[in-house]
Each structure stands twice: as structure tokens, then as C-alpha cells.
Chain A
Amino acid sequence: MKYLDEFNDPVVARQLFAEIERITTRPWAIMEVCGGQTHSIIRNGIDQLLPENIELIHGPGCPVCVTPVGMIDKALDIASQPGVIFCSFGDMLRVPGTSRDLFHVKSEGGDVRVVYSPLDAVKLAEDHPDRQVVFFAIGFETTAPANAMAVHQARQRGLTNFSVLVSHVLVPPAIEAIAGSPATRVDGFLAAGHVCSVMGTWQYGPLVERHRVPIVVTGFEPLDVLDGIRRVIAQLESGTAALENAYARVVTDAGNVAAQQMVDDVFEVCDRRWRGIGEIPLSGWRLSARYGDFDAETRFDVGAIDSSESALCRSGEVLQGLIKPHECAAFGVECTPRRPLGATMVSGEGACAAYHQYRGLDVIRPTAVSGPRGDDD
């Protein structure tokens, strides 16, 4: 609890806002990479209180948002098969595939279960030897160690009815793609603190060197985010580009070495398609050959599925920081958390959902406000 109150202190926040105001002389665009940071910024209204010439660009760091639609369709296909218990983190259940979502599969009789840890899925496999238990292993470097551990334990226990549908993504190649794009408007990055707690900071130095861009490893509470923003601006204003760690209470340079070893054992780096962005080279993890037996894609033969995105959805541009969520014509009209067209409208960490849930009064649209009312409680 100490860490919740301490990093929400409004008095210290005001000092940080004042400091940011004082040092800012020019317009700067800063991308917070992680969806957790986006959520914190919008929920607390940090973006409303920054100087007008500081723009926050919401990055692609929501694993639910960037999982490609083809992979969602594979999940839906597997989850619909008889005898399967399909396990997923809760957010994934509402992510639209080409024509439906996992909630839909569940309401049609599919055995779809929300788990809070991949190890719970391993236990389900042990408890139901007559069923095929599949875990949807998505996420960035943060969720990878636990997912790797689940596969590792399943093998140790000799489970032949457990498999994983893997769609892991990696942060540094995404920063590389954004910083190296000719269209980029990003002057500096807030790197994702929890990713760095696993992987350390050593992967980010070369990105700073190559693109001459400040990268500050940043946490998630309001004061963490403000301190990260302040440090990026200070660098930009002084013309320097360095790697800084503003989340030292959690992140070390080396990261969690045991977790990295577990991940290296179970996964290997691969090219990965990101929903809304496209393929980024060497930006994902898939099961290594040693653990190929646990690959749900081969076990269930889901190779040829015809996938397509909503024609209205502009989540790709949102994920790349090219537009803000409410600048999309479908925002709050055809696309709401109730009927999301794109994954960015689903997860609490998705930029569109964060805008819709916590939007300031200035972005209200009349059609998005008046909902049905009434309750039978």
C-alpha cells in the first residue's frame, strides 16, 4: 500500500507539473510505450495538466491490442472444438476476431475459462486428463516468464493434454520500428517499467545510440509517469539523448536473470505480426523446438483461417501514434467497449478504451453519452 499512496501524492505531483512547465520551452512529443502507463495517464488526467506543447503519444504496449486478428481467429477455432478447455486472461475474451469473440464461443457452449495465472491452466490439465487444455499465451516480456514456466512444468509433469497458443511480442523491436520510421513524430520514449523489471535495461542503450532518442524507463503510478516525462523533457531541452532509469525501485540493469533463462529455454525469437501495425522483424517469441510438442497451432491444425479486420477501425494508426482515439470517425459511434471494432477498444490498457472510459468532457460525442438506464437490483 505504501507504494500506492506515496506515488499518488497530489502535492508532489503539483511540484512536478510546475517543474515540467518551467523547463519546457518548445513542443515535444513523447510516447509512453506501455498500455498500463496510458491507462494511468488518462485515468488521472495527467495529459490535461501538462503544458500545451507537450503531446503524449500512446504506444503499442497493450498485449491484448496487438495480438493479430489471425491469432484470435485461431483461438476461437480451438476454443470451439469439443473436448477443449480454452484458458485465457480475462481481457482477451472480448477481443473481436473476424466475426466473433471468445465470450460468443462461451455462450455457444465452448468451455472458455478465465485464469489469472498460466499455472492454473496446467493444474486444470492435471485435473482433467480426458480433456485438452489450451492456454492463450499472449503478452510482452512481463507475462512470458510465467507462461514459459507453465510449459516447463507441463513437460516435467508429463502432461500430454496441455498446449499453448503463443503470440508473445517484444518491446525493443517495436521501439526500433517506431523510432526508425520516417513518419515518426516521437521525440522521446517512456519505456515500460514492468517489461524492464524482467529484461533489465541493457537492450535499450543501443536504441538510444542508434536513433539519438531519449529513453526513460518509467513506472505506472502518477508520480512515476510525471517523473519519466520530466526526465525526457530535460534531455530533449538540453539536446542530449541517454538511457535513464526512473523506476529503480523495481528495475535493475540486468533484470531478472532467472526469468530470462526460463524464457530462453522455452521460447525463441521470431518475426511477429502486430495487429494494426504489420509485421515487425524479430519482434516476438514462439515455442522453441525443444517444446514444439506443446504448440497448440500444430496440435489442432488451425493453419488456414481467412481473417479480416473491420474496414472502419483505425486502431493501427492509434497504435502507431498517428492519430488520437477520438479522431477516428467510428470512436464512440460504431465502436464502443460494448461493441469494439478493434482491440484497442477492449482492454483497459487499450488507448481507445481508456479514452472512452475516462475521456475528458472535451471529447464527448452526443451519441456516445446517453446510454440505456435502469437496473433491477
Chain B
Amino acid sequence: MSVTVIQPGILVTIQDLGRPGFRQSGVSPGGAVDAHALRIANMITGNEDSAAGLEITLGKLRLRFSDERCVAWCGGGASDVKIGELMLPAGRACFVAAGEELQFMRARSGCRAWLAISGGVDVPPRLGSRATDLRGGFGGLEGRALRANDRLPLGKHSLRTQKLLESLRNTHVAEWGALPEWAAPLQTPRELVLRIVRGADWTRFSSAAIADFLSQPFKISPDSDRMGARLDGPALQRSDEGTDLISEAVAPGTVQVPPGGQPILLLADCQTIGGYPKLAHVITVDLPLAAQLGPGDHVHFREVPMAEAHHLLLQREQNVARFRIGLSLHA
């Protein structure tokens, strides 16, 4: 009924889809940096979308299962995932027998991966969510990253998982799976481009700064974390007097620019309000790519109209609904 951490990895936390509803108390919604990836992995294992799984940063995690489970992982940062000697591709359901070990090897590309385990990680919810809030020190397991010998309680299997386990008992890895771009957003190597819409303070920046922002590559700095990816590139100068702004809300995806001119792309654990100018916002459907930005990676930004951001999101959600129907036919 549990999974034991043999090797804790670099930064592994329990995450779910986050805890919206407490921003007014200064609590960031948090949750998986790529909530879409965790949701898809959960769907594949027969879990509720909101079940808690593991967020694995840069691989190197080893787990041992005490009973049989169905698992699936999505994302990047763990090119090789093995169950015993069996390789498990991203976006596929897999049977894990009691006593078996699952291993996330060193990351080859990308930064973060999400592992769903059937039944979900059953730690007590805090403020309506099991997500680990590292800064607040609550949620998940004692509000902290996993350590060796931690034992994570697992929940009960859904009816669909029970059928799935029977059908995978002999074949182990399912032949069907998630769309490749959902399973592993960085699967096809290419230059990473994040699409943005303009932020409220776009016009506070010089035309040279805007041109640089939309044409130059930015490198992810090593001091990036779940709060934000710090970007090294041309300093983005403001064209107004650079006066202090009144603090107002920010959100995951916001690109804010501190006085030094090096932008910060905010991620799931960002503050709820901030006082730096908001240059742009990465669109929701590109947050899975943003979640894969690791130290040393390069990123470009491209502007799209707001209507396109909404159209792409609607399209994705329609595809998720179809995928859900498809899954129900497999088990």
C-alpha cells in the first residue's frame, strides 16, 4: 500500500493540480509546474485528474513498490525510465509488481517529469490540495522534498485501474498512450520557442528592448526554481522613468523584469503579487514547454494574438476530452 524512496533524486516533490482559491491569503496555487502532464499521466493510470503524483526534477529517482500498481510518466528530464529491466516510454501505462523498483535515470533533455501512480499518493490534503508548498513548508510530505527511506502512502485503485492491471499483467507496457507532444513536450529536438501575449507594462519598455525580447535567445540561469526561471540575455531597458510600480497580481507564465533588465519567467510557486513590470505572459498551452527549461537551455519568445491563445487552449481541452473517451475504451 506504499512506495518507498530508495534514492531521492535531486528535487522530487509530491504535487497535484494545485490549490487555487487561497491567493487572497497570499498562498500560491502551486501544484505541478506542468499540470497538463500530471493530469494526462493520471488519466492513463485510471486516476482522478487531481490525484497527487511525483514531480521529478532532473531525474535520479529510485522507488520500490510494496504492492502492484499501474504507473505512467509524462514530461522530460528523464529520458530513461526503467521498471526492473524494462524500459518505460513516456505517456504509457505500465504494470508494476509488488517489490519491483522504478528508476528515473539521469536527465538527457528537459528538466521535469511527472509520475502518476494508480491510487495516487495519499498524503493528507492541506488547504484542499496535496501539493507540496516548499516555501510555505506545508502540503505533500511535511512540506518538503522527498528523502531516502520516505514511505509514501498510496490510495485505493479505481475500477478502471483494476481492469487495467488485469489487462497489463502479462504485457506490462500498454500499446496505447498519450499524444507524443503530451507525453514528452521536448521529444522532437528543436529550438524552444514560447508564445507570449503582451503584459500590462509592455509599453513601459523601449522599442529596442521589445525587439531584443522577441528576437534574441535567453539562457536559463542556474538559480531558477519552481518559483521562476531566471533568464540571461540582453538587458531589457524601460523607456519610462523606471519609477516604482504599485504591487499587483502576477501568475505562472508572467514574464517580469526587475531593474537589472534580466527577465524572470514565473512558474507554479510564484508569489501571488509582485511589483516588477510585467512585460509579457507565456500562453497557457506553452507552460508545459516552459516547465522543461533547465539551467543552460535557451529560449525564444514569439508574440501571438490573445484570440490564438484561447483557440489553442480550447483545442487542447477538446483533444483531452476525446482522449478521455478513448481511454475508457481501453479498460
Co-complex (A, B): no
